[in-house]
Structure 1
């Protein structure tokens, strides 16, 4: 298995032009359908929207929400513990954070217009995983959106989205490729830092979230802060 450090080296050396070529070949245009921001409903029930958000992105979203909505957003207004690994009662240990959801399981920053099109209320400050959807890179240690890849060109994977296959201009493809590379590097840097800081905490009450800054409580405060 490729080490995280080796994968990081590969990510840093990626050609933006080649990534843009792949994105152009697949094709993409956002239709504002809201599919990447809302819960998934199927025969098994409703699965809440789950998108990874890094600690500094949570703070950036807090600041953005405070400015746009003119009210104070605490950590839990923006992020929740990644549900994978937690018990049904929400206790246990998990890794990283997911964007907070509303009562319907949709991203808390998603809103739908009267014509049915969706919008992000913090679009300019949205996390890297949102900026690059529906694409990810096939590099060990990097994250990917929910759902299996439905198309692939080289290292670029495309995940289910009704905007796939549409024409995309070169400038937009290059901007998306640059951000996709940035996200992959960040994924790996965060994973390496998390690995270095990780200490199991089975003795802790409630939920414990391990991220690149250490172990935290669900409200984002360090676990050992008194």
Structure 2
């Protein structure tokens, strides 16, 4: 069995109650500071979003305005040159001209909010936590706390009381994210084929195959 498949089995066997215990031990309450939605040290915000999550955000926007793929996601910059050309293996939520998540909103008093909160990607639902499994992503730097399989990343909301119900909801989303990330990695590996892009082109390889930045299939 390949390493990713072994890790996927481990993710599927994660116990939500045990994850919730760890989250309670660390403690967390969102303060709506917006730090996880903003650029950091002049680096644009790079939250991973999967193809189906892009479509979920597109659908959630229907009541306001029609959004195309590039309104929601952009090629993850890692692996691309300074002009954005090359091949990469992930999508990132779209960023605005300041580098912040394009869906981030801030009130006059500095309180942050997500304009697509009900359809936000799993990585946003679970921040600042991750699970210690190979093949899963570790958002925004090194862990600053951990309990069991759960790692906590820098966030001013850490250490605050959290209800058991909220801890279990967060734990369920954390398990779902770990499974989804590993499934995506395996599907990307299986779907990958060299794209041989023309000079200056950008190709994103995801679980559905090679795509252009607008989400359309890249020609073989």
Q: TM-score range by the shorter chain?
A: over 0.9
- 8 A Cα contact 1:2 1:140, kept in partner: no
| Alignment match, 1:217 | 212
- Which residue of structure 2 aligns with residue 167 of structure 1? 161
Quick check: 2:203–2:210 contact (8 Å CA) kept in 1? yes
* Cα deviation 1:122-166 (Å, max 9, x = unaligned): 101000000000000110111121211111111101000000000
TM-score, length basis structure 1? 0.94
Query: How many angstroms apart in 2 are the aligned matches of 1:180 and 1:2?
Result: 23
> Alignment partner of 1:147: what SS?
coil
Unpaired segments of 5 or more residues in structure 2? none
Equivalence for 1:3: 3
Q: How does 1:181-220 map to 2 (within 5 A)?
A: 181-205=175-199, 206-220=201-215
Alpha-carbon separation, structure 1, partners of 2:176 and 2:9: 13
Name structure 1 gaps, 5 residues minimum.
none
Pick from 70, 73, 78 the counterpart of residue 79 of structure 1.
73
Partner of residue 32, structure 2: 32
Shift in Å at residue 2 of structure 1? 6.9
Q: Residue 200 of structure 1: CA displacement?
A: 2.2
Q: Distance in 2 between matches of 1:153 and 1:135?
A: 11
Aligned length: 219
CA distance in 1: counterparts of 2:190 and 2:198, whole angstroms: 20
Pair 50,157 (structure 1): closer, same or farther in 2 beyond 3 Å: same
Residue 202 of structure 1: how far off its partner (Å): 3.3
The match for 2:44 is 48
Deviation at residue 204 of structure 1 after TM alignment: 3.6
Q: CA deviation at 1:66?
A: 2.3
**1:178-209: CA deviations, max 9, x gaps?**
00000000000101000001112233441000
Residue 195 of structure 2 contacts residue 218 of structure 2 at CA under 8 Å; is this kept in 1? no
1:89 correspondence with 2:88: no
Could you say what the CA RMSD is over the residues aligned between the two structures, in angstroms? Answer: 1.3
Kindly state the Cα deviation for residue 63 of structure 1 after the two structures are TM-superposed.
1.0
